[in-house]
Amino acid sequence: MYTICKRTFLIILSCFVLGSCRANPIDELLKEADSIINQNDFTELVLEAISGDNSAMIRTTARITRLMTIAEELEQHQREMKVNQLEQYMLLMSTVENISQELFAAQRGGQPQTIIPADSPYIGSRPTFQYFSQIGMIRTSTKDPVPYSVVVDMQLGYDENDNETATELTRRLYELRDFVRTFFRSKTASELVPENEARLKQEILELLNTRVLNAGRVRAIIFLQLDIMQIQ
C-alpha cells in the first residue's frame, strides 16, 4: 500500500513540475515574435520583398505573415497579460505598425507586390471608423521636475455600427477624461515629442482596451491637438 501511494505521489508531483515548467503561451508567442524581429531587420525585409527575387519574396512573405499571425493571436490574450507581457506586446505592435508603413510606402513607390493578405488588419485598405469626440480638450502637465503644460484633444475610433462600444464610451465619459489626464500627467516632455506619437497612440489603445473598457473595443486614436509647452 505504501509503495502504491508513494508511486502515485511521485506521478502527481512529476505532472505538477512539468506543468509549472511549461512556458506560458503568451510568453512563447512573444519570444517567437522577438526572434523574428531580431533575426530580420524589417527594412531588409522590405528591400527583399521588392527586389524582384521570387525566392526572397516568398521567404519574406512567410516571415512577415507569421509575425502578423502572432500579433493577431496575442490580441486575443490581451486581458490575460501581465504588465511585463503587455509592455512587450505594445512594443511588438509598434514594430508591426512600422513594418506595415514601410511595406505600404515601398509598394507605392516601388514595384507593387501583394506580400501580405489584403484582409490583414495591419496593411492594405484601411477600415472606416466612427469617432467618439466627446472627451474634448484636456489640459494637464507633465511629470518633469519643472512641468510642461500639455493640451490634448483626442478622438477614439471604433468599428462602424458598433453600438456596444459607442454606448460604453458614452457611459464612461468621465472615466475617459480622467484617463487622458492621468496618462499624459505620467509622461515627461521628452516622451511626448512628435517622433513618439505612434508609440503613444499604441500605448493608449492597449490601455483603453485592457484597463478601461469592458465590452467595447477602440480601434484607432487620433490627436486633433497635442501641444507641449514650457510653463513660463
**Same domain, yes or no: 86 and 168:** no
Residues 6+ apart with CB under 8 A from 177: 135, 136, 138
The 10s digit of each residue's pLDDT in 16-72 is 444 444 568 888 888 888 777 665 555 566 566 555 666 666 666 677 778 778 877
Which CATH number covers residue 221?
Answer: 3.30.479.30
Do 105 and 10 share a domain, yes or no?
yes
Number of separate domains in the chain? 2
219 exposed, middle or buried (CB, 10 Å; 0-12, 13-18, 19+)?
middle
Shared domain for 144 and 214, answered yes or no, is yes
Please check whether residues 191 and 226 belong to one and the same domain: yes
Classify residue 117: in a domain, yes or no. no
Q: Are residues 82 and 20 in the same domain?
A: yes
Whether residues 225 and 140 fall in one domain:
yes
86 and 136 together in one domain: no
| The predicted structure's pLDDT at residue 141 | 95
Instruction: Domain of residue 87: give its range.
Output: 2-109
- Domain edge (last residue) among 65, 81, 109: 109
Domain-embedded: residue 161: yes
The answer to whether position 115 is within a domain reads no
* Class of residue 111 by CB neighbours under 10 A (exposed 0-12, middle 13-18, buried 19+): exposed
pLDDT, tens digit, 9 for 90 and up, residues 159-194: 888 999 999 999 999 999 999 999 999 999 999 998
pLDDT over 90 (residue 90): no
The identity of residue 43, as a single letter, is T
- Whether residues 99 and 134 share a domain: the answer is no
Percent of the chain's residues with pLDDT above 70: 63
Q: What does the pLDDT average to over 118-141?
A: 72
Is the same domain home to 94 and 158?
Answer: no
